[in-house]
Amino acid sequence: MKKISLYIIGALAAVVSLSACKDELEDKFYNPDQTTSQSIGGFFTEMLDNDRVRPNYWELRTFIVMHPGIYTQSVAYLNGNSVFQQNGSYTQDRWQDFYRPGGNGGGVMAHYRAIQNAYESLSEEEKNANRIFLEAAKVVMLDQASQMVDLWGDIPFSEAGSLNLTGKVVRPKFDRAEDVYAAILSGLKEASDYMATASTNASFQRQDILLQGNVDQWRRYANSLRLRLLMRTSFVDEAGAKQQVMEMLNNPGQYPLVDEPEYNVLLSPLTNNTNDLRNAMTELTNYSAPEFMLEEVLKPANDPRIPVLFDKNTGNTEYRGLPQNLGSEQQQQNIGMYAVIDSSTFLLNSKLPGIVITAAEVNLLKAEAFERWGGGDAQAAYEQALEQSVRFYYYLNSLNANPKAPLTPPTAEEMNSFLAEPAVAYAGTQEEKLEKIWTQKWVHFGFLQSVQSWSELRRTGYPDLTFTPATMPGYELPPLRLVYPDSEKAFNADNYEQVRAKDLRDTEIFWDVQ
């Protein structure tokens, strides 16, 4: 059996991050004399061990609460002069963590290429035993790649992480966002089709820290991700999206989905994890309750999620959101008057999982498809999604090993009353119904999934948020995309020139046509 250099992993990643010159990359990473037996399973586990999925300090503190959390108002924030200015250092970390190992992101692309490399060296018998690793790894890579597109637009993809036969570093071209999405959607269908007849094995069960080797759940994950991305493109290619979406929804046996809570795809924290989100949220006063979510959406509906999403704060008798139409000094003067992110559910919960995709989101996607195109019961899917979202947040609250007494989920009667509230009841014109679907998805995503929330906000235009303009010229309002990191401009300069004209904060992602 061929051996694979562990140094290749670093080179694979360096193809994209390009944080050193060519000679330094080759000297540091490509050394065929220092080898070890390949381990597809080991690469797979490393790929899944992704701190950009887990709700940890670095992801929350440097990325979520400074970028998509603010752009979606899923966290509260102070109206400083530069509040909408991208922090180049932190977004560069987010970029590089997709492409290279050794950071905070599991090195998804680097490890996927290492798995491909190792897989191709196997005998046919060994390939049959290990293909499940390859296909599951592909689903994870495509999921993360779709998020990169949603954040930046065109990205290095088809050539990313590759080495030519001589081991030389390849400067990867930027693929068009549309083309990357097409490859992702095709790859997800291929993975699902394979998993329809695939079986697990002891090695896959041991190495799979996400779904414990459950092939049916991997298949549901692939299909549900495909549904998410098809709906994301549905305003730019409605006919194509509709055809594929309805084919999936009309054939649940062939395309099972994450449509029940038992199928939720969650990355559990490590058993010895003791970290929580307290420091990540409180350092920037992002722990206050966001005004629009609390005052305009949740409170008018008597939403049962309020007690597990927020604390009233010491001495307060009611929930109040931090106003977003005041100057930062005014906001800080009475900061103790406002509700805060719930401590048991979020701030002090070391058992909080990474959220990949949930049944509530999937059923809201189904509700949108049925409302726009027919073929199913949109109201039933919408109401099921809301109940699943409520139960999900009470479930997160119950995970805390040292909580205040876990809160009791609402009864069936209380849920029925909630669904009958005019603010959420499935009634009105089609546009009003879609607004409710999209707004409830925004609530469900919250700050933990604000990368997805920002994409949906740009795609749909809902909820209709108002932002107090910042005073820094050129950064008055939230961007429509992130600009590329400086490392890419410096070390992949020739290819960057091909996308330089698009590299503006107000360039729309291709699916953003509303």
Domain end residue (candidates: 347, 371, 398): 347
CATH number of the domain within which 230 lies: 1.25.40.390
Q: Which two tokens stand for residue 484?
A: 């590329």
Statement to judge: residues 38 and 153 lie in one domain? yes
Amino acid, single-letter form, for residue 81:
N
- The answer to whether position 368 is within a domain reads no
What percentage of residues in the chain have a pLDDT greater than 70? Answer: 91
pLDDT band, residue 162 (cuts 50/70/90): confident
Statement to judge: residues 154 and 73 lie in one domain? yes
381 vs 260: CA distance, rounded Å: 11
Statement to judge: residues 247 and 107 lie in one domain? yes
Domain end residue (candidates: 347, 379, 407): 347
Amino acid, single-letter form, for residue 38:
Q
Give the pLDDT confidence of 187-237 residue by residue, as tens digits: 999 999 999 999 999 999 999 999 999 999 999 999 999 999 999 999 999
Which structural domain range is residue 37 located in? 6-263+448-502
The reported pLDDT for the residue numbered 39 is 87
Residue with more model confidence, 512 or 16? 512
According to DSSP H, which parts of 355-478 are helical?
359-373, 378-399, 412-420, 430-445, 450-460
Give the pLDDT confidence of 400-449 residue by residue, as tens digits: 987 777 899 999 999 999 999 999 999 999 999 999 999 999 999 999 99
Residue with more model confidence, 17 or 276? 276
Amino acid, single-letter form, for residue 436:
K
Give the pLDDT confidence of 16-48 residue by residue, as tens digits: 333 333 333 233 222 322 223 348 999 999 999
What percentage of residues in the chain have a pLDDT greater than 90? Answer: 79
Statement to judge: residues 57 and 169 lie in one domain? yes
- The answer to whether position 329 is within a domain reads yes
Residue 14 has pLDDT above 50, yes or no: no
Statement to judge: residues 170 and 319 lie in one domain? no
Statement to judge: residues 140 and 50 lie in one domain? yes
Domain end residue (candidates: 325, 347, 369): 347
pTM of the model as a whole: 0.92
The reported pLDDT for the residue numbered 84 is 97
- Please state, rounded to an integer, the average pLDDT across all residues of the chain: 90
Q: Which two tokens stand for residue 217?
A: 């759940």
Per DSSP, the three-state class of 166 is coil
Which of 84-88, 328-332, 448-452 shows the lowest mean pLDDT across its residues? 328-332
Q: Please enumerate in sequence order all residues whose Cβ is within 8 A of that of 342, keeping only pairs 6 or more positions apart, or say none.
A: 307, 308, 309, 310, 311, 397
- The answer to whether position 476 is within a domain reads yes
The reported pLDDT for the residue numbered 63 is 96
The reported pLDDT for the residue numbered 16 is 39
Statement to judge: residues 249 and 320 lie in one domain? no
Number of domains in the chain: 2
- The answer to whether position 426 is within a domain reads no
Statement to judge: residues 126 and 202 lie in one domain? yes
Q: Which two tokens stand for residue 67?
A: 């970028």
Give the pLDDT confidence of 469-506 residue by residue, as tens digits: 999 999 999 999 999 999 999 999 999 999 999 999 99
